[in-house]
Amino acid sequence: MNTLLNLMLSNALVAAILFAILMLLRRWIKNPAMLHLCLLLILVKLITPAYWQPEFTLFTSEFQKATVAERQIRPEEATESAEAEQTIPPVHPKTVPASDKMNDRLPGKQVPAQETLSQFLSSIPPYEETASKSAWQVEIFAEPLTGAELTTRVCTLIWLTGTTAWFLLAIWRIIRFQKYLRQALPASLELNETAKTLAQRIGLKSVPQIEMVSGNVSPLLWACFSRARIILPSRLLEQLNDAEIETLLLHELAHYRRRDHLVRLLELLTTGVYWWNPMLWWVRREIRIAEEACCDAWVVETLPEKRRSYAEVLVKAIGFVSHPQRVMGATGIGSQDVLEQRLKRIMCDSLNRNVSHWMKFVTVVIAIVLLPFAPMLGQSAPRTPTVVDKQTLPTVEEILAGYRANFKKLMPVEMTYRVLTQDNMNCINEDRRQLKGLEMILKLDRVELSNAIKQIREQILENDDYFRMITLDFVEKSRRLKENLTPEAIKTRLSESVAEHRYLWTDGKSFHYRWSTDAKNPEAELNRGPVWPAENLNTHYHSIKMISWSNKNQPPMRHWYGNGPDNRFTRAKIGNKLSDIYSFKTIAPLGLKEFKWNENYLSGLDYAMSRSTDHYQMIGRVEYQGRPVILIDGFFAPVNKETGLRNRIRAWIDPAQGYLPLRLESALVDDVNKVVRGLHHETEVLEVKKVADGYYPVRIKYQEYTFDSLGIEKQIKEIGVENLEDRPLPELPLVPGHVKIWEATEFTPRKAIEPATLTLEFPKGTIYENEIDGNKYHAGEPQPIPPSPEYAPKLQVGEIAPTLEVARWLDGKTRNLDDFRGKVVVLLFMDISAFSNIQDEMRPQLRMMMDWLKQIQQKYAAQGVVFIDIHPVGTTPDQINAYQNFRQSKSLAAIDSGTNLKVGTTLKKYSDPGEMNAFLIGRDGRIVMSTDSAVDHHFENYYYYAATKLKIPLEFQENLSEEEAMHQSMRILEFIVREQIDNALEGKKPSLLIPEK
C-alpha cells in the first residue's frame, strides 16, 4: 500500500478515536475554549506527518493465504523442512541467468532440489514475448492484481479526484467572493473609533479593517489569502442601536483576537484531503459552535451590562440572512441551529472563555505524544485456523511430558525474583462501592439489618451477640477500605510497587526459599550462601524467613520465621504438609512434582500443567502474538450443581519454547464451553529466556478481574433503588482489576545447593513447633517444652458471684450480696492509695474520669442499680471519705478483710490484684461482665464496635490532643458500660461482648 495513503488513513483512524473519546467526555467539559482546543488538536492531527509508525495488518494477499495452507505442519516437521532447504546444493555462478527480470516474471518461484538448471530455464517464457511490451506494461501488468490491491487503487483514484475537485471549488468560491468585496466601502469614522476602543479592552494591538457591503450577507471576519477584514452589511446596521452595534463589533473582534480566521485556512486544507470523511465535517461543525460560544463569553465578560442587547443582535443578525450562503474561509456570526442554546447561555449562565495554563500544558504534552503517532497498515501475517486435523497435533501426554522435560534441562535452578503490584480505577471504584454499602449497613439497627440480610434473619433477631459479630465484621472491613481509599493510598495503589522480593532454589523435588520480613526491601541479602553453621540464622538472617523441603529432613519441611534473635518466642516449625505452605507458591513454574495443589490457587503455570491427561481437551493450532501455538482447555474442578457452570483454564502452549503456556485464561463456562461473564483472571508470559537448552518464563503478568462498579451504579440509577427487590440487577461482565507482575532478577540454571542449606538447622535453644505431634521444642533438646497454662479469669460470665468477706462497711452496717438479690450490682475493687501520688499533669485526666464515673453512677442509681466500692486491706475511712469527696459522689464502700495489704480475702475470690477491677452482677446474682472477661474475649473488638456506633473515627485519634483523645475514649467506654448495664436491667441472658469468630 502506498506509504502516503497509509499515513493518511492512519491519521484518520487516530483522529476518529480521539474525537470519539472527546464526544464521550464532552458533557464534563464545561469550558468551550478547552473543547475548541481539543477539536483543533484533532484537526491538526489529520495533516501531521509522523515519525513513530508501528505497523499493524489490514489485508492478506492471495499469495499469503495460499502459503498459510501449506504452513500447517507440526513444529518438528517445520524443523525438518528447514534443514532440507539448507541442504539444496548451490548453483554454479556461470549457470545463473544474468537478467534481473527473471525474478520479476516468476514471483515466489522456487527451484526444487531435484530439478536441473536446464529444466528450470526451459520453464521461463521466451524473451521475445515480453520484450515488445512497454516498460509501463511490464511494471504494472507483469502480475495479476489481487482484490485488495485493485480496491486500493480504485479508492486512491476516487480520493485524488475528490481532492482535486474540492480545491478547484474552493478557489472558485474564494475568487468569486473577492470580486464581490470590490464594491465594499470603508466604515464610518465613528464605527472605527468604537472598534479601536473595544479592541483595546480585549487586548488587541491592531484592528482589522472594517468594511460595509450592501448585500444580504452575515457579519463576518474575512482573511482568506488577504489581510483580515470585518465585513458588515449596511442594511443590518441600520436596524441596530448603539449597544447592539457595539456587541456585534466586539463579537467579530473576538474572532480576530482568537485567530479563528487561521483556523478557517486549516479547515480548508484538511477538508481538501479528507473530504470523504464524515468525522471531519462533524469536527468542523463542533469547532464553529465552540468558537461562537467562546466569542459569546468574550462579549458577555467584556460588556456584562449588555447581555440582552447582545442576545437581540444575534437574533437580528441571523434572521437578517433569510437564505444564507456559506462563504468559504470566513468566520461569521453563527447559524440558527444552536441559536436557542446560545441565547440561554448568554442570558442565564456564567461563561468561560479562557483555558488555564495547566490545561494548556497538558494539551501540549498530549499533542507531542499523539501528533507524531500513526500506525501503519500492512499486510497481515497468515492466520492459522482455530481447529485443524488433530492427527497432526501432539497429544496431551506429549505436551505435558514436553513441559516437564523442559524443566529437566534447567534443574536444579537458582533465582531471585520480585513481584510488582498495581491497581487501577476499577479496583478503587469497587472498594468505594463496597465502603458505601458497608456505611449504609452500619447505620441499621438489628431488626433493619435482619430484614436486609434475609438469609440470617432468625439468627440476628434472636441473638444480640451474633448481631454484634456481624456488625464488627463490617466495621473491620470498613476500616480496611477507608485505609485503602485515602489519597495517599490511592496514589500508591495506582503506581507500580514491589510486593515481594525473594530467593528460590529448586530441583523439582526439593526446594529452599528465602524472603525478607520487609517485602519491599531491595537491599535484603537473600542469597548470601549456605545457612551454616546454624548460628548464622541469628547473625545474618534474623530478618529473613526461610522454608526448606527435602526428603532428607525428618519431617521434610523446616520453616524459619526469622523474627529476630530473641529465642523466648516460637521462631520456627517443622512438618510434613507441603500443601499448607502458601508463601512459596508463585505464578511462575517451580518444576515441583507430586504436589497436592490447593484448589483455590489457580493462577500458576505448574497448576495448569500438572494434572492427569483426562482433565484436558485439545482445541487445535492457533496463532498467538505471531507465533504458532497449541490451544488446550483444562477442567480441574467439577461442575457447580447450583449454577451448572464449571471453571475452565484455557492455555496457549508454545511447542517451540519448551511447551510453556504463553497465556492462561480462567473463566466460568456453561455446558457448551461458552464463557459466562468474561474472564476471572489471566496469566500472560511477557518474556521467555533460553538457558541451558531449556526455556523459562522470566517475566509474567497476572491480571485479576473485578466487578464493574460504575456499571452497577448506572444500573441502580436506571432501575431505582426502590425497585431492586422486584427487578434484580442483571450481571455485568467483569472488568480488569489488580495486576501482579512476577519477574526474575537473577537466574542460574543447573545450580547445586549445599545439603546444609536444605537441612536448615535451627540455632541451639530456638523454640520451634512440631506440627506432627503438636508440641513445642528447644532446638537441640529431645523433650518437648511443657505447655504453659493459658490465662483465664477466676470468675466466668454466668457464674454465681462469691460472697463478700469485708472487715467493715463505711457506714457501720452489715450486709452481703444476698441482700441485693433482684437488683443489678456494680462491684468495683478500688486502690485509692495511688491517687495521692498522682502527678499534677495527670490530674485533668483523673478529674475527667471521676466526672464520668459520677455521671454513670447518678444515672443508674436512680434506676435501682447498686454501686459498691471494695477498698484494699488497710485503707482508712478518712481516705475513703476524701476519695468520695474528690469524686463528688457517694456509694456503698467497704474495706476488704485479711492480712495481705495487696490481696484481700474478697479480692482473692474475684480477681488478681490490679489497679481497678469491675464486675457487673445481674438480678439473679450471676456475673454478667467483668474487666477480666472483657480482656479475655477481645475487648478491643468491642471498643471498635462502640466507636463505630458513636461515629468516632479511631484512625484520626493520633491527630487529637491528649484531652480530646481522652474525651473520646470516655465516650466509647460509657457506651460499653451503658449497654451492659441496660442489658442487665432488662434481664437479658448473660452476653459477653463480641463472640470470638
What integer is the mean pLDDT of 639-658? Answer: 91
Q: Do the Cβ atoms of 709 and 426 come closer than 8 Å? A: yes
Of all residues in the chain, the percent with pLDDT exceeding 90 is 14
Beta strand residue intervals within 459-535, DSSP E: 497-506, 511-516
CA distance 960 to 962: 6
Helices (H) and strands (E) in the chain — how many of each?
A: 33, 28
Helices 487-494, 464-484: axis angle to 10 degrees equals 70
Mean pLDDT of the chain, nearest integer: 76
At residue 353, the pLDDT reads 61
Q: What is the DSSP letter of 693?
A: T
Encoded amino acid at 787, one letter: P
What integer is the mean pLDDT of 438-449? Answer: 68
CA distance 213 to 183: 7
Phi, psi dihedrals of residue 428, rounded to the nearest 5°: -60, -45
More confident residue, 151 or 876: 876
At residue 61, the pLDDT reads 35
Q: How far is CA 945 from CA 448, 871, 950, 976, in A?
A: 18, 32, 9, 9
Which residues partner with 59 through β-bridges? 379
Q: Are strands 616-624 and 570-575 parallel, antiparallel or unpaired?
A: unpaired
Contacts 24+ apart (CB under 8 A), 4-7: 5/152, 5/156, 5/159, 6/376, 6/377, 7/49, 7/50, 7/53, 7/374, 7/376
CA distance 49 to 42: 13
7-11, 283-287, 671-675, 786-790, range with the lowest pLDDT: 786-790
Q: Do the Cβ atoms of 666 and 634 come closer than 8 Å? A: no
pLDDT tens-digit map of 551-595: 888 899 999 887 665 556 778 899 987 766 666 567 788 766 545
H/E stretch holding 871 reads: strand 866-871
- Give DSSP secondary structure letters for 317-376: HHHH-SS----TTEE-S--STTHHHHHHHHHHSPP-----HHHHHHHHHHHHHHTTB-PE
Which residues partner with 252 through β-bridges? none
CA distance 179 to 168: 17
Of residues 936, 938, 947, the one with CA closest to residue 974 = 947
What integer is the mean pLDDT of 693-715? Answer: 89
CA distance 484 to 429: 11
Torsion of CA 714, 717, 723, 728, to 10 degrees: 10
- Give DSSP secondary structure letters for 40-109: HHHHHHHT---SB--EEEEE--HHHHHHHHHT---HHHHHHHHHHHHTSPPPPGGGS-S-THHHHHSTT-
CA distance 41 to 36: 9
Helices 32-46, 260-273: axis angle to 10 degrees equals 40
What integer is the mean pLDDT of 464-488? Answer: 73
At residue 788, the pLDDT reads 67
Residue for grid cell 515480453: 130
At residue 235, the pLDDT reads 86
CA distance 364 to 44: 12
Of residues 476, 492, 561, 574, the one with CA closest to residue 777 = 574
H/E stretch holding 941 reads: helix 939-949
**Neighbour tally for 156: CB within 10 Å:** 14
Residue 20: pLDDT band by 50, 70, 90 thresholds?
confident
**Neighbour tally for 496: CB within 10 Å:** 10
CA distance 431 to 485: 8
Of all residues in the chain, the percent with pLDDT exceeding 70 is 72
At residue 585, the pLDDT reads 66
Q: Is the pLDDT of residue 660 over 90?
A: yes
Q: Are strands 185-186 and 735-749 parallel, antiparallel or unpaired?
A: unpaired
Encoded amino acid at 982, one letter: D
Q: Is the pLDDT of residue 94 over 50?
A: no
For the chain, domains (ranges, CATH) are: 160-363 (no CATH), 398-421+495-778 (no CATH), 806-985 (3.40.30.10)
Residue 893: pLDDT band by 50, 70, 90 thresholds?
very high
Using a cut of 0.75, tell me whether the model's pTM lies above it: no
Residue 798: pLDDT band by 50, 70, 90 thresholds?
confident
Write out the three cell numbers for 602. Answer: 489457580
Helices 32-46, 3-25: axis angle to 10 degrees equals 170
At residue 290, the pLDDT reads 87
At residue 622, the pLDDT reads 92
